[in-house]
Amino acid sequence: MKALQYRTIGAPPEVVTVPDPEPGPGQVLLKVTAAGVCHSDIAVMSWPAEGFPYELPLTLGHEGVGTVAALGAGVSGVREGDSVAVYGPWGCGTCAKCAEGKENYCLRADELGIRPPGLGAPGAMAEYLLVDDPRHLVPLDGLDPVAAVPLTDAGLTPYHAIKRSLPKLVPGSTAVVIGAGGLGHVAIQLLRALTPARVIALDVGDDKLRLAREVGAHEAVLSDAGAAGAVRRLTGGLGAEAVFDFVGAEPTVRTAGAVAAVEADVTIVGIGGGTLPVGFGHLPFEVSVTAPYWGSRGELIEVLGLARAGAVSVHTETFSLDEAPLAYERLHAGKINGRAVILP
Ligand code: NAD
Ligand code: ZN
Ligand code: ZN
């Protein structure tokens, strides 16, 4: 089968032919219908050889949907032909966190060598994908595969982040979304669907600011040195009760801290390497800062439910598997509006 692989440190990913996978006991083979392109893959492909955590070659793609093509021995609960989304942050399934559905925080994944597809295990940018357990599949139940696939990360990750701050997003409150890209433009919609908060989006690109407004941001502000001042002015000097940073670089985490209100939640989702000092006097009183990872199995079911109810719709640009390297180039150049989706 054809697959998009990251093969050489520092080189672009390549379309190659690899053997068709076969499902072992307990596994499910999917014929991939769509795979999403995440900025985290670009981060992975920028890491140096020293300390690189995954084996190469690595088939990319940690957002996947497909139809069940074959079942390994002993698999029940899914049938051939079912259309399903893949829950990506695989865990052991039995530790205390996994028991809560929080496989993203599995206590034993490292020790057992369990890795998400596309982030260690072979990913979804291929004609077929092996899923290690049917519990990692959620039925699409009528959702369009292209529109649904980004929800497995670009939907699930902001959903998890926002859910934590729902008690603070009361009427009259403000939420700030920094970076209105793949994750951020879904975050804006989730905030509008789940909260009465006023949503202020920050980005560096005019297209992104336009998309932010289209998907529901009340205000869209250029993310420059004046952005924090602009958010302060828009909030009567008080700042925002919740700030979600989908860039996580030094300047954006600084902005995130600078626009936080007293008792605000600052959630750094982007992995841009920025750090925000926490300590008395650094931030307004009782601001809490966190850096979450992906979301739980239950939350993925909830996000797909929201999409079925029409509350979120992902803006997508599609590419064939042969065009996948171009999709990464365009994402790297800031030229993707919404999420790029590969159709293998
Ligand atoms: P993306 O490229 O689609 O979106 C990033 C957006 O940020 C773009 O619209 C870009 O114009 C904007 N941006 C860049 N610099 C900016 C700045 N200084 N101020 C404001 N906006 C700026 O990326 P994505 O796929 O949505 O991923 C976003 C981030 O989240 C990445 O760092 C990714 O690695 C990370 N991520 C983290 C998790 C997690 O679990 N923590 C999960 C998925 C992705
Ligand atoms: Zn991702
Ligand atoms: Zn576990």
Q: Residue type at 205?
A: G
Q: Which of 290, 317, 335 is the last residue of a domain?
A: 290
Are residue 25 and residue 126 in the same domain, yes or no? yes
Are residue 111 and residue 130 in the same domain, yes or no? yes
Are residue 184 and residue 283 in the same domain, yes or no? yes
| Ligand 1 contacts CB of residue 39 (under 6 A) | yes
Confidence at residue 123, expressed as pLDDT on a 0 to 100 scale? 98
Peptide bond into 145 cis (omega under 30): no
| Ligand 1 contacts CB of residue 316 (under 6 A) | no
Confidence at residue 45, expressed as pLDDT on a 0 to 100 scale? 98
pTM: predicted TM-score of the whole model, two decimal places: 0.98
Q: Structurally, how many domains does the chain consist of?
A: 2
**Which pair of structure tokens corresponds to residue 343?**
């159709």
Q: Which atom of ligand 1 is nearest to the CA of 336?
A: 3
Confidence at residue 227, expressed as pLDDT on a 0 to 100 scale? 98
Are residue 76 and residue 202 in the same domain, yes or no? no
**Domain CATH number, residue 200:** 3.40.50.720
How far, in Å, from the CA of 62 to the mean position of ligand 2?
Answer: 6
Question: CA-CA distance, 3 to 322, in Å (whole number)?
Answer: 9
Are residue 161 and residue 204 in the same domain, yes or no? yes
How far, in Å, from the CA of 66 to the mean position of ligand 1?
Answer: 25
| Ligand 1 contacts CB of residue 271 (under 6 A) | yes
Are residue 179 and residue 209 in the same domain, yes or no? yes
How far, in Å, from the CA of 115 to the mean position of ligand 3?
Answer: 12
Are residue 103 and residue 24 in the same domain, yes or no? yes
Confidence at residue 34, expressed as pLDDT on a 0 to 100 scale? 99
How far, in Å, from the CA of 63 to the mean position of ligand 2?
Answer: 7
Are residue 81 and residue 8 in the same domain, yes or no? yes
Q: How many CB atoms lie within 10 A of CB 51?
A: 6
Are residue 125 and residue 208 in the same domain, yes or no? no
| Ligand 1 contacts CB of residue 331 (under 6 A) | yes
**Domain CATH number, residue 325:** 3.90.180.10
Q: Over the chain (344 residues), what is each successive 10-residue block's mean pLDDT?
A: 98 98 98 98 98 97 98 97 98 98 98 98 98 98 98 99 98 98 98 98 97 98 98 98 98 98 98 96 97 98 98 97 98 98 98
Are residue 53 and residue 142 in the same domain, yes or no? yes
Instruction: State CA 319 to chain mean position distance.
Output: 19
Are residue 6 and residue 146 in the same domain, yes or no? yes
Confidence at residue 5, expressed as pLDDT on a 0 to 100 scale? 98
| Ligand 1 contacts CB of residue 43 (under 6 A) | yes
Question: Which one of 87, 202, 203 would you pick to mutate in the ligand 1 pocket, going by the greatest count of ligand atoms within 8 A of its CB?
Answer: 203
- Cβ atoms of residues 291 and 155 within 8 Å: no
Q: Which atom of ligand 1 is nearest to the CA of 292?
A: 41
- Cβ atoms of residues 34 and 146 within 8 Å: yes
| Ligand 1 contacts CB of residue 179 (under 6 A) | yes
Q: Which of 290, 310, 335 is the last residue of a domain?
A: 290
How far, in Å, from the CA of 219 to the mean position of ligand 1?
Answer: 19
Domain that holds residue 234: 156-290
Confidence at residue 108, expressed as pLDDT on a 0 to 100 scale? 98
Confidence at residue 32, expressed as pLDDT on a 0 to 100 scale? 99
Residues in the chain: 344
Rg (C-alpha) for the chain, rounded Å, is 20
- Cβ atoms of residues 324 and 157 within 8 Å: no
Confidence at residue 244, expressed as pLDDT on a 0 to 100 scale? 99
Are residue 306 and residue 273 in the same domain, yes or no? no
Confidence at residue 23, expressed as pLDDT on a 0 to 100 scale? 98
Question: CA-CA distance, 53 to 113, in Å (whole number)?
Answer: 11
| Ligand 1 contacts CB of residue 203 (under 6 A) | yes
